[in-house]
Chain A
Amino acid sequence: MNRIDASDHYDESSFAAQTPSLLTIVIDTNPRAWAALHHVLPISKAIANILVFVNAHLAFGNDNQVAVLAAHTNRAVWLYPKSPNPDGGSYGRGQDVHMSGVEPELGTSANKYPQFAQIETSILTSLRALIDSTTAADLNPTTLISGALTIALSHIHKTSLAFEPPKTSTDPANPTTAAALTSSSTATPNLHARILVLSVSDSEPAQYIPTMNAVFAASHARIPLDTITLHGTPTFLQQAAFITGGTYLSAAANPRGLLSYLMFGFLADADARRSLVAPTQDSVDFRAACFCHRDVVDTGFVCSVCLSIFCGVPDGAECLTCGTRLALGAYGAKPAVVPRKRKKKKIARVNGSGGGEDTGSATGTPVPP
Chain B
Amino acid sequence: MSANANSLSQYLEQLPGTTFRRLYLQPSTAFAIFRRMLPHLAKTIVMAMLYMPLPFQLSDLEIWIKPTARREKDQAIAILRSLHIIQRDTPQSMSLTPNFRKSLRLALEGGGDHNSFGVPSTQPAPPEIDIAFLDRYARKKWDDILHYVVNSVGFSSSEKGSNGPKQSVKDLLLGGRLVERKGGGLSITQAGFTFLLQEANAQVWTLLLLWLEAADVLNANGASRAGMESVDMLSFFFLLASLEHGRAYNTDSLPEARKNMLPTLVDFGLIYIPPGNSHQFFPTRLATTLTSSETTLRSVSAGFAAANNGDNGDATQVDKSAIILETNFRMYAYVQSPLQIAVLALFSELKFRFKGLVSGHLTRASIRRAVDMGITSDQIISYLASHAHEQMHRVAASTHKPLLPPVVIDQIRLWQLDTERMLATQGYLFKDFDDYREYIEICNFADDIGVVSWRNDKKGMFFANKVDQIKDFMRTRKKANEGK
A residues apposed to B, CB below 8 Å: 1, 3-4, 6, 9-10, 12, 15-18, 20, 52, 55-56, 59-63, 98-99, 101, 104, 106-117, 120, 165-167, 170-171, 177, 180-181, 183-184, 187-188, 190, 259-260, 263-264, 267-268, 271-272, 274-277
- Beyond A60-B40, A61-B35, A167-B390, is A275–B119 a contact (Cβ under 8 Å)? no
A275-B413 CB under 8 A given contacts A98-B244, A267-B44: no
Q: Is the CB of A165 within 8 A of B397?
A: yes
A177 touches B394 (CB 8 A): yes
For B253, the chain A residues whose CB sits under 8 A away are: 110
Residues of B within 8 A of A187 (CB): 400
Please determine whether A113 and B110 come into contact, CB atoms closer than 8 angstroms: yes
Interface residues of B in 57-74 (CB under 8 A from A): 63-66, 68-69, 72-73
Q: A180-B398, A267-B44 are in contact. Are A275 and B66 (CB under 8 A)?
A: yes
Chain A residues contacting B414 (CB-CB under 8 Å) are: 4
Q: Give Cα A152–Cα B183 distance, bound, in whole angstroms.
A: 67
Q: Which residue of B is nearest A267, CB measured? A: B47
Chain A residues near B291: list those with CB within 8 A.
62
Partner pick for B66 among A15, A114, A183, A277, CB 8 A cutoff: A277
Residue in B51, B65, B72, B107 whose beta carbon sits within 8 Å of that of A277 in the complex: B65
A55 touches B44 (CB 8 A): no
- A-B pairs, top 8 by smallest CB distance, nearest first, are A275-B69, A180-B398, A112-B110, A184-B398, A114-B244, A110-B119, A110-B115, A55-B108
Contact B73 A260 (CB under 8 A): no
Contacts of B269 in A (CB 8 A): none
Q: How far is the CB of A94 from chain B (nearest CB, A)?
A: 13
Q: Which one of A9, A116, A259 lies within 8 Å of B110 (CB-CB)?
A: A116
Tell me how far the C-beta of A228 lies from the nearest C-beta in chain B, rounded to whole angstroms. Answer: 15
A101 engages B246 (CB within 8 Å): yes
Q: Are A277 and B63 in contact (CB under 8 A)?
A: yes
Tell me if A104 and B247 are in contact (CB < 8 A). Answer: yes
Known: A60-B40, A264-B48. A114 touches B117 (CB 8 A): yes
CB of B31 within 8 A of CB of A111, answer no
Task: Among A15, A104, A170, find the residue whose CB has the most chain B CB atoms closer than 10 A.
Answer: A15
* Distance, CA A5 to CA B205, complexed state (A): 32
Q: Are A17 and B397 in contact (CB-based, < 8 A)?
A: no
Residue numbers in B under 8 Å from A109 (CB-CB): 110, 117
Chain A residues closer than 8 Å to B243, beta-carbon distance: 114
B220 close to A (CB within 8 Å): no
Which chain B positions have C-beta within 8 A of A59? 31, 34-35, 43, 47, 107-108
Contacts of A167 in B (CB 8 A): 318, 390
B435 to chain A, nearest CB (A): 28
Looking at the assembled complex, report how far the CB atom of B268 sits from the nearest CB atom of chain A, in whole angstroms: 21
B40, B48, B393, B395 pick with most chain A CB within 10 angstroms? B40
Instruction: From A3, A117, A165, give the contact of B390 (CB < 8 A).
Output: A165
The CA-CA distance from A111 to B2 in the complex, in Å, is 30
Residue of A nearest to B421 (CB): A1
Residues of A within 8 A of B40 (CB): 15, 18, 60, 271-272
Contacts of B39 in A (CB 8 A): 15
